[in-house]
Structure 1
Amino acid sequence: MTKIGIIGAGGRMGRAIAAAAVDAKAIVAGGIDRPGVTADDLGSVTLLADATALAAASDAMVDFSSPSALAAHLDAAVAAGTPIVIGTTGLEPAHHALIDKAAKSVAVLQAFNTSLGVNLLAHLVQEAAARLGTDWDIEIVEMHHRHKVDAPSGTGLLLGQSAAAGRAVALDDVAVRSRDGITGARPEGAIGFAVLRGGSVAGDHQVVFAGEGERIELGHRAESRAIFAKGAVKAALWLAGRAPGRYTMNDVLGL
C-alpha cells in the first residue's frame, strides 16, 4: 500500500487528509507541523522530526501548510526523491519558480484546489470561454470563511486562469480584481473577480458568462473540507512512482 506523509498534519486539512487516506486504504507514514505542535495535536498520526524524515518514510507527501515553508519541503522531497502534492494557497511567482526547479528532479503536483468537482469545473470554464466571444463578459464570484487570509482565493484564480486560457490570453492582462468609485464602463474581454468573506463557508465559486439577453452560470459549492482531502489523497496515490515533472489535477482526472 502507498505510504502518504502529511505536512501540516495538525491542522484541519491535515486531519481530514489523514482520515481520507485511511478511507482510501493508504498508509499514513506520519506527519509534521510548525514548531510547537505536539504529538497530541496530530491525533493518530505519528509526529516525525522534520520534512527530511517524513520524505524518507513516504511514497508521496501532501503539503497544506504555508508558503514560507514550501522551499524546505521541496528540498526534502528532492533529496529523498519523494513526489509531493502541494495544496498550499497564497503562492507567489517565486514559489512557482521553486516548484519548477524541484519538478526537474521529482514529481510535483501543485493545485489551487484539490476538489475533483472544482477541477472539472475549471475544465468546463475553459471550454466555455473558448467558444464564446469577448462580447460575453466573464465574472468570477467566490466566498470563503472569515479566517481565510488570501484573496482572490486560489480556486478563484484557477477559474480565472482557465477562462483566460480558453481565450488564449494572459490572466494578468485582463483581470479586474477591484472596483470602487467611478470606474467607467467594463472593458471588453475583462475577467472580473468579486470576493466575499464571512461565517464558516468552506468555499463557494461561481463563474458567470453574461451576454446580451442571456447568461450562463457555472458553479461549485464545497459543503465540507473532506472533498479537498479526498482529492488530495487521490492525487498522492496517482503521483506516487511518477517520473519527475510538474503535474496538475487535470492529469489525475485524465482531462
Structure 2
Amino acid sequence: MLGTLSMSALAAAAAECADRDSVIALLGELLADCGAKYAMVYRFDRGLQSAADEWTPLYVSFPAEITDYYRKSRYVMDDNLARAAFGSYAPVRLSDIVDGFEISPARQGLHALFRQYGIEDMLGMHVCDRPGRLVYIALAYDRLLGDVSEFEGRRLRALLEMFMRQAGALLDDEPGRALSPKEQDVLGYLAAGAGNKEIARELGISLSTVNTLVHRCYEKLGAHNRTEAAIAAARAGFSMVA
C-alpha cells in the first residue's frame, strides 16, 4: 500500500504550512506514510541542462553520498527514470524499466550506491505545481514494488500534485518577493480590512498561521502595515479578494 492519507486531510494540512520548514515536515510525513525510505523533489525550471549544471533540489532525503553523486556526475542528464516519468501520467517503477538500460559507468556507480543503502526499487513521477512548470519526484523503497497497483500509483501522484500546488512555493530556497497562493489569500483579506481572527475563520486555518503569513507578506512587499501592504500589492498586480 502507498499510504492512507486522504486528499482532504492532506489539503487541510498543506493549508496550515506557513514556511519552508513546515512544508518539509509535512512532506516527510506524507512520504513516510507511503512507505518511502528516501525521496527527492526537483523542479525543472529551464530543462535538463540547467538542472544538471545548478543541481538545486527542492527537497532531498537521500544519503549525502547519493546526492553528491547526482551533483558531481551531472547524472540528472542521464536519468532514465526521470525521462520515463516525464513521458507518463502514472508513476514509473524503476524495476519495470531497468532491464532496458544501457549500462553506462555513471549508472553502474549510482546503482552500486542504491544497493549499498538498501534501495530495491523506486517510483518516479512528474507533477505540475503550476501551469507549464514540471516537478520531478523520485521515491526510493527498500522493497520491490510489484504489488503496487496502477490505481495506487495514480492516487499517490494526485496527492503529491495537490500538495505541490498548495504548498510547493514555500520550498523555494530563494523565494524572493513572490507571494505564495496562501499569502495572496491572506493579503486579499487584509486589503479588505479583515482582522487576523476573521482571516483565520474565513480560510479555516489557525490564528498563528495567519500571523506568520501576514508577517511574510509584509517582508516580501517591504510594508510596515496593512495600508502599505495593500498599496504595494496593487502596484505589483496582485488580485484582491472581494
TM over 0.5: no
Q: Which has the larger strand fraction? A: 1
TM-score (norm 1): 0.27
After TM superposition, the score normalised by the length of structure 2 is 0.28
